[in-house]
Structure 1
Amino acid sequence: MRGWQKIGGVLLLMLLLAGLTGCGGSNPQGNGAGAGTQANSSNTSTGKPRYSVALEATFAPFEFRDMKTGEFTGFDIDLIKAIGQVEGFDVDIKEMGFDGIITALQTNNVDLAISGISIDDERKKAVDFSLPYYQSGLVVAVKADNNTIKGFDDLKGKKIAVQINTTSAKEAKKIPGAMVTELDKVPDMFLELKNGGVDAVVNDLPVTAYYIKQGNNDVKIVGDIRSAEYYGIAVPKGKTEILQKINDGLKALKANGQYEELYKKWFGQEPPAFLPGEPPQQKS
């Protein structure tokens, strides 16, 4: 009797172990940073390729969260989804800090990034860029009652807030004697300005203009636009298939009028003639 009890116990133990192996032995895909980042992964409901898209969602009107729904919205969101529609792929949004986006692309943790990323020579060494889809520039913002700072030339020796690892930060650091504070998110910069922690904010024109338009009349833009720059959609080096789809999609949206519709929706004006789908003309 004891022998059968022992054998029965061993059999029971083996069955339990087999059950546990069946439940937890595999490594299913989850919602972590690496999930859904392979270019050949597909959406099981549509059968389309599914690309993970990195962005930093405090850069209105390009990307931000709708206060009512909590969903991502903005010009960049609409644009990448429209590209996906014409090129036959789905997108999986991955929110992260702006300073981590290039690294995420380099390590193939995401398939592409659209987050108001300026195309510059330093970034082109790390990632590949699409054709430009937006022309921007940098401006100075101060408190509405500040009448001493009237532009970039008045920022010498001043305290300036910028977003970390941006072209705004690079430009501000060129200013003699400037004390530059780099912050993670756009709202943090303007909060620092309002609280008196800095004298000015250097930021992209459309983002600053949109911020003021939302009822923040205690802030104003002063001076001229500096450092005209172009935004591009970034992909990891060598991902030529994805890059080709992005460029073809931009051209298709320009041809069918969707790009113009989206531009008017978010910026209330006609887009520049060259955008998107063709490189800007160099001034002679």
Structure 2
Amino acid sequence: MRRAILLALSIVLSAVASVAAAQDDLLARVEAAGTLRVANTQGHAPWDFLDDDNRLTGLGIDLANELAARMGIGKVEFVPARFPDLIPGIQANRFDLVIAGHTITEERSKIVDFSLPYMAIGTSVFVRTGDERIRTLDDLDGKSVGTLAGSITEGYLAAEHGDKKLDVRAYENATLALSDLAVGRVDAVIYSDDAGAYIARINALPVVRAVQVNREINAMVFRKGEDRFGQALNAAFRSIIDDGTYSSLSAKWLGSVDMAAELKKAAAD
């Protein structure tokens, strides 16, 4: 009798422990709530920003909605936060996922987990569509090059390409620089891949990327140790890449930049 009672008690305690573990499991909680809480800064076009009608939009927003749908989660709740508060917010369970351009670092990996890379982006040389003269950085020799006033690029050109005869022209904003490129006032513009492609798309500017200067790999962030959530998230993201959806979303927001192709290229390097 005593042995039967102990066995029953063991079964009950095991069941309670299983329920408690399930309740503390991020994937189980998200599925039960039917809502995925995604944080971003809401000020980073073309990834997440407020449009003219004050609606949250962008490539990162479309990606989050697609991920949730493929994970079987019915709703996405977007939570605005300052960039420095995003990782602490994950640790404090204020949100479930961050899609905000975090580079994978050893230091961050100690306190949060990362998804598969979703963004391979950096700085590129933009040229007019059809201009075949610039295909490497060496081809900038003797050319006029637009940069943002006070940007890192100005210092980079001086430090790394000071031996070339560059006519460096500083602009107050990227739209003006790319507009001047489109009409031939400068031969090239060095600017952020994604933002440059977005500006070109929304302003119908005939400019394209010629050569990438540098590249940064970013991933989505979630709570440390949430392996089941990470597996479900990565499986959903792989399917978004494999069936061409990510390429379509990239075309919608980035025009000449196919983010799925950029990720494959980065993985092969």
- Taking structure 2 as the reference length, the TM-score comes to 0.58
- Shift of residue 138 of structure 1? 3.0
Partner of 1:281, secondary structure, is helix
Name the residue aligned to 2:10. Answer: none
Superposed, which structure 2 residues align to 1:122-137 within 5 Å? 122-137=107-122
Amino acid at match of 1:50: T
Q: Of the two, which has the highest radius of gyration?
A: 1
Task: Indicate conservation of the 8 Å contact 1:39/1:49, yes or no.
Answer: no
Name the residue aligned to 1:245. Answer: 232
**Is residue 69 of structure 2 the alignment partner of residue 85 of structure 1?**
yes
Name the residue aligned to 1:257. Answer: 244
Task: Indicate conservation of the 8 Å contact 2:37/2:78, yes or no.
Answer: yes
Residues 168-227 of structure 1 show CA distances to partners (whole Å, capped at 9, x for unaligned) of: 9xxx89x98xxxxxxxxxxxx959x99xxxxxxx9742124424655599xx99996433
CA–CA distance in structure 1, aligned partners of residues 258 and 204 of structure 2: 25
Task: Indicate conservation of the 8 Å contact 2:41/2:81, yes or no.
Answer: yes
- Shift of residue 160 of structure 1? 3.9
Q: 1:91 to 1:273 in 2, by over 3 A?
A: closer
* More displaced 10-residue stretch of structure 1: 76-85 or 250-259: 250-259
Task: Indicate conservation of the 8 Å contact 1:41/1:51, yes or no.
Answer: no
In structure 2, list runs of 5 or more residues that go unmatched: 1-25, 127-142, 160-171, 178-189
Aligned counterpart for 1:75 among listed residues 44, 59, 65: 59
**Is residue 267 of structure 2 the alignment partner of residue 281 of structure 1?**
yes
Q: 1:222 to 1:76 in 2, by over 3 A?
A: closer
CA–CA distance in structure 2, aligned partners of residues 42 and 222 of structure 1: 40
Name the residue aligned to 1:236. Answer: 223
CA–CA distance in structure 2, aligned partners of residues 265 and 275 of structure 1: 16
Amino acid at match of 1:238: G
Q: How many residues align?
A: 202
Structure 1 runs, 4 residues or longer, greater than 6 Å off: 220-224
Amino acid at match of 1:116: G
Residues 96-149 of structure 1 show CA distances to partners (whole Å, capped at 9, x for unaligned) of: 1122212212322211100233334443333211111222013599xxxxxx99
Partner of 1:109, secondary structure, is coil
- Shift of residue 263 of structure 1? 1.8
Q: 1:54 to 1:272 in 2, by over 3 A?
A: closer
Amino acid at match of 1:250: F
Which structure has the highest helix share of the two?
2
Partner of 1:233, secondary structure, is strand
CA–CA distance in structure 2, aligned partners of residues 223 and 279 of structure 1: 16
- Shift of residue 62 of structure 1? 0.8
Q: Does 1 or 2 have the higher relative contact order (CA < 8 Å, sep 6+)? A: 2
Name the residue aligned to 1:207. Answer: 195
CA–CA distance in structure 1, aligned partners of residues 251 and 191 of structure 2: 22
Q: 1:254 to 1:281 in 2, by over 3 A?
A: closer
Aligned counterpart for 2:123 among listed residues 132, 138, 143: 138
CA–CA distance in structure 2, aligned partners of residues 138 and 121 of structure 1: 23
- Taking structure 1 as the reference length, the TM-score comes to 0.55
CA–CA distance in structure 1, aligned partners of residues 208 and 151 of structure 2: 14
CA–CA distance in structure 2, aligned partners of residues 268 and 212 of structure 1: 8
Percent sequence identity is 26
- Shift of residue 40 of structure 1? 4.5
Which structure has the highest strand share of the two?
2
Superposed, which structure 2 residues align to 1:20-31 within 5 Å? none
* More displaced 10-residue stretch of structure 1: 57-66 or 222-231: 222-231
CA–CA distance in structure 2, aligned partners of residues 258 and 274 of structure 1: 12
| CA RMSD across the alignment | 4.2
Name the residue aligned to 2:20. Answer: none
Amino acid at match of 1:137: G
Amino acid at match of 2:267: Q
CA–CA distance in structure 1, aligned partners of residues 37 and 239 of structure 2: 21
Q: 1:140 to 1:271 in 2, by over 3 A?
A: closer
